[in-house]
Amino acid sequence: MGTEGDKRTAARLAAGTVALGAATLGYAVGIERQRWTLRKAELPVLSPGSKPVRVLHISDLHMLPGQKSKQRWVAALAELEPDLVVNTGDNLAHPHAVPYVLRALGSLLERPGVFVFGSNDYYAPKPKNPARYLMPRGKKKRIHGKHLPWDDLRAAFIEHGWHDLTHARQSLQVAGQQVFAAGVDDPHLRRDRYREIAGPADHNAVLRVGVTHSPEPRVLDPFAADGYDLVMAGHTHGGQLRIPGIGALVTNCELDRSRARGASRWGAHMWLHVSAGLGTSPYAPARFACPPEASLLTLVPRGGTDETTAEETRRKATTTVR
C-alpha cells in the first residue's frame, strides 16, 4: 500500500486533471467557439494573364436565432468587398433561422454568389452520442431531425442574385472575367449525382470552380478529371476538436484528416479548399484548437507559382481574429 504522502500526491494529481479538463471544456465551449477568425490564403488557380479574384468562402453557419455575435461578425465581412461569395451549406440549425442567416449575410447578398446546401439545411440537428463521430462511417446510423425551411432560404438567395449550383453548371461574370462553376447536392446524405454535371469544364473561363458541401473523394475525383481548377467544401468543421501537433481526429467523411481544413492539392492540377466553418451543432457547442472561421482566398494566375505545395500555402496563410 502507498504511503499517506503518495495518496495525497495522487489525489492532487487527480484533482488537477479534473480541473484542467474543466478549464479546457470551459474554454472550448465558452471562448473558442466564438473566437471568430478570418483565414487568408493565396492560390495559383487562374488562367495565365488573368486578374486576381478575391473569393469569400462561408460555410457551416449552423445558425440559431439568438446568435447575435455570429450574425454581427458575418455581416462585417462585407467590408472585405469580395469579388465572389461561395457558400458551401449547413446554414441552418433551427426552423426559424432563415431571417437570421439573411440578416448575417446582409450586403454580401448583393455581391456575386453561388451556393449548395448541406444536411443541416434540410434537417434540424438532433442529440447524438459524440462517440459516433469516432466510429467507422459504415457502422453509423443516419439520424435526421425535422425538416428545415431550406426552400425559403434558397428562394431568398436566388432573389438576391446568387446561383444555386445543386447539380447545375453556371457561367458568371466575376471582376469582369468569366468564371465557370458547378456543384452537387450534399454527398454526406448521398444526394450527389455528379453525372448530371459531368463533362469538361469550360476551357474559356479564367477559373473553373466546383462546389460541394461534404468533400468526399468520390466527388473530388470527377471534378479533377473534368478539368476544374478549385473545389470548395465545408462540412468537416476542421475536425472541431483538434490536438495541437496532431490536428483533426476525424473529418466526418472519407477525406483524410490532414485535409480537414485549409488548402491542399488534389491530383496534379486541382486545388481543394475546405472551410472549418463558423458554427457547431447546438448539441455539441465546443471547439478546441479550431476556431470558427471564414476564408478570404486571393486567386492568382498559374505560372511561376503553379508548383506551390499545400504546405507552402499553409505557411503563407494568415489568420486574423476580428
User: Which of 24-28, 151-155, 158-162 has the least mean pLDDT?
Assistant: 24-28
Q: Above 70 in pLDDT, residue 283?
A: yes
**Three-state DSSP state, 3:** coil
Q: Is the pTM of this model over 0.85?
A: yes
Contact (CB, 8 A) for 272 and 231: yes
What region does 71 belong to: left with phi over 0, alpha with psi -120 to 50, or beta? alpha
Half-sphere exposure (Cβ direction) of 110: Cα atoms closer than 13 Å: 8
User: How far is the C-alpha of 105 from the C-alpha of 30, rounded, in Å?
Assistant: 24
The reported pLDDT for the residue numbered 33 is 85
The pLDDT mean for the chain works out to 88
265 bridge partner residues: 271
Residues 6 or more apart whose CB falls under 8 angstroms from that of 165 comprise 114, 115, 116, 181, 182, 183, 211
Residue predicted with more confidence, 47 or 321? 47
pLDDT tens for 62-71 read 999 999 999 9
The pLDDT of 258-276, averaged and rounded, is 97
Residue predicted with more confidence, 28 or 235? 235
The reported pLDDT for the residue numbered 145 is 87
pLDDT tens for 114-145 read 999 999 999 999 887 655 555 655 555 566 78
The reported pLDDT for the residue numbered 15 is 40
For the record, the C-alpha cell of 241 comes out as 476538436
Q: Quick one: CA torsion of 115, 51, 266, 237, rounded to 10 degrees? A: -40
pLDDT tens for 197-244 read 999 999 999 999 999 999 999 999 999 999 999 999 999 999 999 999
From first CA to last CA, the distance across the chain in angstroms is 55
The reported pLDDT for the residue numbered 259 is 98
The reported pLDDT for the residue numbered 235 is 98
Q: Label residue 14 by pLDDT band (50, 70, 90).
A: very low
